[in-house]
Amino acid sequence: MNTVTLKPSKEKSLLRRHPWVYANAIERVEGKPALGATVIVRAHDGRFLARAAYSPHSQIRLRVWSFDEAEPIDHAFFKRRVQRAVAHRQAFVRDTGAVRLIFGEADGLPGLIVDHYVEDVTGDLSGDAGGGAGRGQLVCQFMAAGVEAWKEAIVAALVGATGCPHVYERSDVSIREKEGLQQTTGVLAGDAPPDTLVTRENGVRYHVDVRSGHKTGFYVDQRDNRALVQAYAAGRDVLNCFCYTGGFSLAALGGGARRVVSIDSSGEALALARANVEVNGFDAERAQWLDADAFRTLRSLVDEGERFDLVVLDPPKFAPAREHVDRAARAYKDINLSGFKLLRPGGLLFTYSCSGAIDAELFQKIVAGAAADARVDARILKRLGAGLDHPLLAAFPEGEYLKGLLLQIV
Ligand code: SAH
């Protein structure tokens, strides 16, 4: 058996059940483990610590499959892990046709993301997504050597646990190159996905472009936050900045907003956003779509004296890594400053960061600084994050990437 022995005292993080081992913690590798092969991890004194996947090209050299010495890593292991993840979602996630079934480390499958979309085939938009469930589509991202090596077993387990035969791969992510893997997309099982499928969340329909949309096609992680916007939008003037295919905009329209102005620099995303207004039968007059740079547009809206009752700021990841934190902090401050200036008294700001390198504390400081510069008192009504289908492993704080604040200015 391939065995990796750690340097003295480097076993501590594994004993705390953190699932990664960095290259610099390793003393020696015995055997010739291939890319993604399973190895036994031992402490310096020879004690068993874990079974893990070997990633010879990555600084994250090992990703743990199991801390249980009696648990072999085989087809049955992946079947159990996938079934457990699916059962968790069945128990906790409701009213949606778009669910994250597998969230990497938190589901014991490091480097794997799987989203499940169910097409909405009802004419009736009341009730939950279950009644009019049509064709399903699974969309996967394999982002580490270990899950890549077990792809076939994982796909079989997914089809078995969900009963959904259609699996599409969106492993077109640059992080694969650090693992020594090429980017790839394509059908893994069943039929090719349609150009766009229509799913439903909280009673609102959304087009999802599985093949070429961002990530797996839709920001499933913002479901609960879209529901909050929907709940508070009635009669309000709403601004949604970085709207992509209009997730928060549609939620606001569904919640009875008076007017929704949305900004994004992607024409393709805005085309789907407009189609989303139509597929819901909403009044297109209430929605205005600006194909423009958000930084500049926010400033001109301020200068023009535009004001809103509810503003959403959900930008792309400004800090992809630690070295970008300072520049990213300035960018977050800039948009939040405009966001505060654009709010009427009593107005609500939903503001997010999906940069893992910026933690919740720093994000709150940046937002507080923006409120001070805008000369408003801002009260945090709620701290926000991803939904229950994106659990956070207690031993793995790195898993928390999406953080948000709901603020009210007084
Ligand atoms: N809020 C969205 C997800 C946002 S993803 C949702 O809930 O679905 C980030 C979006 O920001 C992308 O659609 C991208 O096109 C857009 N974007 C990136 N840089 C931008 C810029 N400078 N100005 C406007 N939009 C930008």
User: Do the domain assignments include residue 157?
Assistant: yes
**Within 10 Å of residue 234's Cβ, how many Cβ atoms?**
11
Domains identified in the chain, total number = 3
What is the DSSP code string of 176-207? HHHTT---EEEEEESSPPPSSEEEEETTEEEE
**Within 10 Å of residue 379's Cβ, how many Cβ atoms?**
10
Return the structure tokens found at 112.
Answer: 């794997």
Q: Is 316 in the pocket of ligand 1 (CB under 6 A)?
A: yes
pLDDT, tens only, 292-346: 999 999 999 999 999 999 999 999 999 988 899 999 999 999 999 999 999 999 9
Q: Which amino acid is at 49?
A: L
> What is the whole-number distance in angstroms between the Cα of residue 316 and the centre of ligand 1?
6
The reply to whether 146 and 229 lie within a common domain is no
Give this prediction's pTM. 0.95
The reply to whether 161 and 298 lie within a common domain is no
- Known active-site residue 241: no
Percent of the chain's residues with pLDDT above 90: 94
- How far, CA to CA in Å, does 196 sit from each of 128, 245, 263, 368? 21, 12, 22, 40
Task: Say if residue 129's pLDDT is above 80.
Answer: no
> What is the whole-number distance in angstroms between the Cα of residue 259 and the centre of ligand 1?
20
Angle, helices 223-232/247-254, rounded to nearest 10 degrees:
40
Catalytic residue among 164, 241, 243, 354: 354
Closest CA to 376 of 405, 348, 350: 348
Q: Is 270 in the pocket of ligand 1 (CB under 6 A)?
A: no
Q: Is 351 in the pocket of ligand 1 (CB under 6 A)?
A: no
Angle, helices 247-254/267-279, rounded to nearest 10 degrees:
20
Which residue has the least CA distance to atom 9 on ligand 1?
316
Q: Is 222 in the pocket of ligand 1 (CB under 6 A)?
A: yes
CATH of the domain at 382: 3.40.50.150
Per the structure, the complete domain to which residue 288 belongs is given by: 219-409
User: Do the domain assignments include residue 399?
Assistant: yes
> What is the whole-number distance in angstroms between the Cα of residue 240 and the centre of ligand 1?
10
The reply to whether 343 and 270 lie within a common domain is yes
Q: Is 263 in the pocket of ligand 1 (CB under 6 A)?
A: yes
d(CA 335, CA 298): 7
> What is the whole-number distance in angstroms between the Cα of residue 258 and the centre of ligand 1?
23
The reply to whether 261 and 356 lie within a common domain is yes
pLDDT, tens only, 79-111: 999 999 999 999 999 889 999 999 999 999 999
CATH of the domain at 26: 2.30.130.10
Percent of the chain's residues with pLDDT above 70: 98
